[in-house]
Amino acid sequence: MKTHGNTILITGGGSGIGRGLAERFHALGNQVIISGRTAATLQSAISANPGMRAVTLDIGDPASIRTVAGRIADEFPDVNAVIHNAGIMRMENLRSPTPSIADAEATIATNLLGPIRLTAALLPLLIRQKHSTIMFVSSGLAFVPLATTPTYCATKAALHSYAQSLRYQLSGTSTEVIEVIPPYVQTRLMGAQQQADPRAMPLTDFCDEVLRILTSQPAVTEVCVERVKPLRFAVEGGHYQAVFTGLNQAMAAVHDAAPGSR
């Protein structure tokens, strides 16, 4: 991916990884359009970054996707990159005596169906460009799941698979497909505790390393920062079970120690 001269739509761009990447691409001279559900969050981001644009989008709503895709085509006909970053992560007790699948359904609609629908809506525009990029932000948990967030991990694994198939189908066209695979990062994805967790990778460090990889490896298809490699390559390294057990035991211990967890 070229890192300058683009018109880029970034979903979930008002906070966390989305905002971090948006600000870096903006600083490199790209026209950046961020989207998200909350207008106030978007406004805060564009106020801090003059020239950045914003559109309100509910990535879990097919009608909202169609509306925004039409607006993007009309107002930003040169858009040549979309970064699918919006996502939600919710804990689920699969042994609950009163099970509810509402969280699972919302997670699938946001994390998986949303990117698929938005890709389909924008692909005719993207594929007409001289060069274009579709980027999916998945997770190290696509490769080694965290058992307390089963649907989140499943959607990220599905997104990894979808990206591979899309890349194959688009080979020979002007559109490339890139997957960014974050480790545990200091964002508010799971609340304020995650943002302050010293075990998580600082957001600034993560975004800086992603941009270094994209700059130094313009033909990269998977962006893996060093801290995610133990998860991404657990199977290939032959230590999947140890990584899976260690991850889930460590996170269970943190949850048990959190105030109000018992």
Distance CA 30, CA 260 (A): 45
**Rounded percentage of the chain residues whose pLDDT exceeds 70:** 96
Asked if pLDDT for residue 258 goes beyond 90, the answer is no
Please say if the pLDDT value at position 262 is more than 80: no
Give 49's pLDDT tier (boundaries 50, 70, 90): very high
Estimate the crossing angle of helix 62-75 against helix 114-126, to 10 degrees.
Answer: 20
**Range 2-12 average pLDDT:** 97
Q: For position 53, what pLDDT does the model report? A: 98
Tokens of 147: 């058992």
Distance CA(164)–CA(18), nearest Å, equals 22
Task: Report residue 186: phi and psi, to 5°.
Answer: -75, 85
Where in the sequence numbering do the catalytic residues fall?
Answer: 152
Q: What is the pLDDT of residues 162-189, one digit of tens each?
A: 999 999 999 999 999 999 999 999 999 9
Q: How many Å apart are CA 160 and CA 155, to the nearest integer? A: 9
Residue type for position 48 = A
Kindly state the tokens that stand for 83: 């970064």
Residue-range domains of the chain with CATH? 7-228 (3.40.50.720)
Position 10 scores a pLDDT of 98
Beginning with the edge strand found earlier in the chain, give each strand of the sheet holding 175-181 in spatial order.
Answer: 53-56, 31-36, 7-11, 81-84, 132-137, 175-181, 222-224
Quick: pLDDT tens for 240-255.
Answer: 999 999 999 998 866 5
pLDDT digits (tens, 9 = 90+) for 197-237: 999 999 999 999 999 999 999 999 999 999 999 999 999 99
User: At 11, phi and psi to the nearest 5?
Assistant: -80, 150
The average pLDDT across 59-84 equals 97
Predicted pLDDT at 251: 84
Tell me what the mean pLDDT of segment 138-154 comes to: 98
Contact assessment for residue 156 and residue 139, using Cβ atoms and an 8 Å cutoff: yes
**What pLDDT is attached to residue 203?**
97
Structure tokens, 216: 């130094």
Q: What is the mean pLDDT of the chain?
A: 95
Q: Per-residue pLDDT for 1 more than 70? A: yes
Give, as one character, the DSSP assignment of residue 83: E
Instruction: Give residue 99's pLDDT band: very low, low, confident or very high (50, 70, 90).
Output: confident
Residue with tokens 């525009």: 125
- Asked if pLDDT for residue 260 goes beyond 90, the answer is no
Q: Is residue 259 over pLDDT 50?
A: no
Residue 231, SS3 per DSSP: helix
Q: In 3D, which of 171, 109, 160 has the Cα closest to residue 135?
A: 160
pLDDT in the model for residue 256: 57
The residues near 106 (Cβ < 8 Å, ≥ 6 apart) are: 60, 88, 90
DSSP string, 28-57: TT-EEEEEES-HHHHHHHHHSSTT-EEEE-
Strands 53-56 and 81-84: unpaired
Q: Residue 252 in contact with residue 147, Cβ under 8 Å?
A: no
